[in-house]
Amino acid sequence: MKNYQTLLYYCYSHIDNAEQFAADHLAFCKSLGLVGRIIVADEGLNGTVSGTPGSCKTYMDTAHADLRFAKTDFKIDEVDEPSFIKMHCRYKPEIVHSGLRDPKSIDPTKETGKHLEPKEFMEMKDREDVVVLDVRSTNEHNVGRFKNAVTLDIDNFREFPAKINELAQYKDKKILTYCTGGIKCEKASALLLKEGFNEVYQLHGGIIKYGKEAGGKDFEGKCYVFDNRVTVDVNQVNPTVVSTCLNCGTISSRMINCANPECNEHFTQCEACGWKLEGCCSDTCMSHPRKRPYDGTGYYVKVPQPINVEKISKRQYKKMGSPVTSATSSS
């Protein structure tokens, strides 16, 4: 057993006074010595937290003791060190931004795709009447995806609704959706059902659970995760690498953030190009005056940014209904 664990989880369940719950929950997590990132909304929880096995057990036991979160499925990874540096717990309108004008038009607690356990998903995915759909962003599926999966060119899940028309050609098929831990599929499958797709399924527990319970068979590349690890191995059966270095085209699964904080592009870069370009995606970013020191990891701790007085002035003018002149607008 390793010294720390990382928990990935979500739960759709109504939370009264969710803003206050977020503040109280942050204090609770800190009292356990946990680090991580949790989103709280009226519709539920979405989180990844990391800490000692004892702290993680206390967290899971406390969640399961609460009727609202009793059915939460925790994906547990053993790690050598905590996967975050700080603990954040924030209130937001949705635990996954759907991009809908009326987010309440879909409710995963009432209607969503049929859940498939990993071994059921593995058995169905290669049938002729099935389409496997990746509902994650381009950055995520570029570094790893299921063999023959349909992928979408999106930067964020909120762009998914606008892409549904592109999937109309598959309406006569069984649609098997998947994502990292399952949370995006809850809304994606609900949206597909609402748009007239008749047979919609989702991989219960996502790629992470599939790797643990089905050996990750036919998942090509690595799985992108939203913590310091950036990517994790999934496939123990027939592993391969599908991503290539942005700069030289060499096959590589190494993802970093651009050292230029004003770019901060998340991309694949081999180790050789990383040192050559000092962790930047281009020569332009390499010469940027605010370029961060590169230590070979391509991971940077977020720090408070200087206050942009021009942007604040612009927002104030808009609130007052006054025209914004070129003198106050920022590029």
- Identify whether 29 is a catalytic site residue: no
In a domain, 241, yes or no: no
Q: Tell me the residue ranges of DSSP E strands in 200-259.
A: 200-203, 219-221, 223-224, 231-232, 255-257
Expressed as residue numbers, the domain containing 54 is 4-91
Per-residue pLDDT band at 1 (split at 50, 70, 90): confident
Q: Do both 110 and 51 map to the same domain?
A: no
In a domain, 80, yes or no: yes
* CA proximity to 215, closest of 232, 196, 198, 238: 238
Q: Do both 69 and 126 map to the same domain?
A: no
* CA proximity to 278, closest of 267, 289, 266, 292: 292
Tell me the average pLDDT across 35-56: 98
What pLDDT does residue 325 have?
Answer: 28
Q: Give the angle 77-78-83 at the CA atoms, nearest 5°.
A: 75
Q: For the CA atoms of the chain, what is the radius of gyration?
A: 21
* pLDDT, tens digit, 9 for 90 and up, residues 261-282: 999 998 999 999 999 999 999 9
User: Is beta strand 266-268 parallel, antiparallel or unpaired with respect to 255-257?
Assistant: antiparallel
* pLDDT, tens digit, 9 for 90 and up, residues 66-119: 999 999 999 999 999 999 999 999 999 999 999 998 988 999 999 999 999 999
What pLDDT does residue 28 have?
Answer: 98
Q: Do both 117 and 227 map to the same domain?
A: yes
Decide which of 181, 210, 232 is a domain's last residue: 232
Find the CATH number of the domain harbouring 82: 3.30.70.100
What pLDDT does residue 311 have?
Answer: 37
Residue 313 has pLDDT above 70, yes or no: no
Find the CATH number of the domain harbouring 215: 3.40.250.10
Q: Do both 111 and 170 map to the same domain?
A: yes
Tell me how far apart the 2 most distant CA atoms of the chain are, in Å.
62
Q: How far is CA 62 from CA 3, 12, 85, 244, 276, in A?
A: 21, 17, 23, 42, 48
Per-residue pLDDT band at 249 (split at 50, 70, 90): very high
**Annotated catalytic residue within 29, 56, 89, 179:** 179
Q: Do both 66 and 109 map to the same domain?
A: no
What pLDDT does residue 142 have?
Answer: 94
* pLDDT, tens digit, 9 for 90 and up, residues 143-185: 999 999 999 999 999 999 999 999 999 999 999 999 999 999 9
Q: How far is CA 229 from CA 41, 51, 71, 255, 330, in A?
A: 26, 14, 27, 10, 35
Tell me the average pLDDT across 288-308: 76
Residue 312 has pLDDT above 80, yes or no: no
Decide which of 184, 216, 232 is a domain's last residue: 232
Q: Do both 85 and 114 map to the same domain?
A: no
Q: How far is 175 from 177, CA to CA, in rounded Å?
A: 6
Per-residue pLDDT band at 307 (split at 50, 70, 90): very low
What pLDDT does residue 276 have?
Answer: 97
**Amino acid at site 94:** E
Where b means 16+ CB within 10 Å and e means fewer, 211-239 reads: bbebbbbbbbbbbbbebbbbbbebbeeee
Looking at residue 324, the DSSP 8-state letter turns out to be P
Residue 319 has pLDDT above 70, yes or no: no
Q: How far is 167 from 200, CA to CA, in rounded Å?
A: 12
Q: How far is 267 from 284, CA to CA, in rounded Å?
A: 16
Looking at residue 263, the DSSP 8-state letter turns out to be T
Mean pLDDT of the residues in the chain: 90
Tokens of residue 320, six digits: 């007052």
What pLDDT does residue 101 have?
Answer: 87
In a domain, 178, yes or no: yes
Tell me the average pLDDT across 15-22: 97
Cβ 208 vs Cβ 180: under 8 Å: yes
Count of other CB atoms within 10 angstroms of residue 110: 8
Tokens of residue 227, six digits: 């913590």
In a domain, 205, yes or no: yes
Q: How many domains does the chain have?
A: 2
Tokens 């599926």 appear where? Answer: 141
Percent of the chain with pLDDT over 90: 85
Q: Do both 84 and 126 map to the same domain?
A: no
Q: Do both 156 and 211 map to the same domain?
A: yes
User: Is beta strand 87-91 parallel, antiparallel or unpaired with respect to 35-41?
Assistant: parallel
State the pTM of this model: 0.84
Cβ 133 vs Cβ 160: under 8 Å: no
Tell me the average pLDDT across 291-300: 91
What pLDDT does residue 173 have?
Answer: 97
Q: Do both 160 and 52 map to the same domain?
A: no
In a domain, 251, yes or no: no
What pLDDT does residue 302 have?
Answer: 62
Q: Do both 144 and 68 map to the same domain?
A: no
Per-residue pLDDT band at 317 (split at 50, 70, 90): very low
Count of other CB atoms within 10 angstroms of residue 290: 10
Decide which of 67, 91, 115 is a domain's last residue: 91
